[in-house]
Amino acid sequence: MESIGAGGWLFSYGEMMLMIDQLDRRTALLEPLETALVPASTEPILIRNYFKQNTVVQFSTVFAEFKNRFFDKTEGSSAELAYRKYKLLCTSADAPIIAELGGAGKVEGTFAAAFAFLQRQPKGQAGFLQTGGYANIFYVRDKKGELCALRVGWAGDGWVVDAILVSDPLAWHGEHLIFCPVSAGWDL
């Protein structure tokens, strides 16, 4: 991101350039916010083990749908990666959000990344994830390879984790945050 003067900001996404002051707020779904790094993971891990071996992150509810879709999935090792946070500006289902971010290949992340952010705010402290009752949404493939919206939210007594297929007609309302990996060539 670079300033272009007179209060305008230019965002570069590969070959596409957006001037933030020229976005049509009646049609734009997302406002880009900050980025944060997720450290590399060096070994594959079974997702259920994040919960079994966890002694730091306080969970209040891990919904059955998440357990059914993810507990038997193993994620491989991964390099350090930046994630960008976006504010959802209006009510939307997942398909338009994913389209605005460049498609499924651009938004797909890992549970390991979401958990890395949870470890930075284990008791709901302020940080990169929001803790005011609204969802933090990551897009992650389940054990069958189906893309899901992974919903992580602070409930006052712990983190809530759920998974919803992106083909579900559920619409997220504004105030939720969307997280996705920053693609190579995008400005941080």
Q: 153, 160 in Cβ contact below 8 A?
A: yes
Contact 148, 166 (CB under 8 A): yes
- Report which of 56, 50, 40 is spatially closest to residue 125, judged by C-alpha positions: 56
pLDDT confidence of residue 161: 97
In a structure prediction context, what are the per-residue pLDDT tens digits for the chain, which is 188 residues long? 343 333 333 333 333 334 444 444 445 899 999 999 999 988 999 999 999 988 899 999 999 999 999 999 999 998 999 999 999 999 999 999 999 999 999 999 999 999 999 999 999 999 999 999 899 999 999 999 999 999 999 999 999 999 999 999 888 988 899 999 997 445 54
Q: What's residue 27's pLDDT?
A: 58
Residue 11 pLDDT = 38
pLDDT for position 170 = 83
Buried b / exposed e over 99-121, threshold 16 CB at 10 Å, is ebbeeeebbebbbbbbbbbbeeb
What is the model's pLDDT at position 15?
36
Q: If you ran DSSP here, which 8-state letter would residue 23 be given?
A: S
As a whole number of angstroms, the distance between CA 27 and CA 15 comes to 21
The pLDDT of residue 8 is 39
Q: How many CA atoms lie within 13 A of 109 on its CB side?
A: 30
Angle 23-26-27 from CA coordinates, rounded to 5°: 70
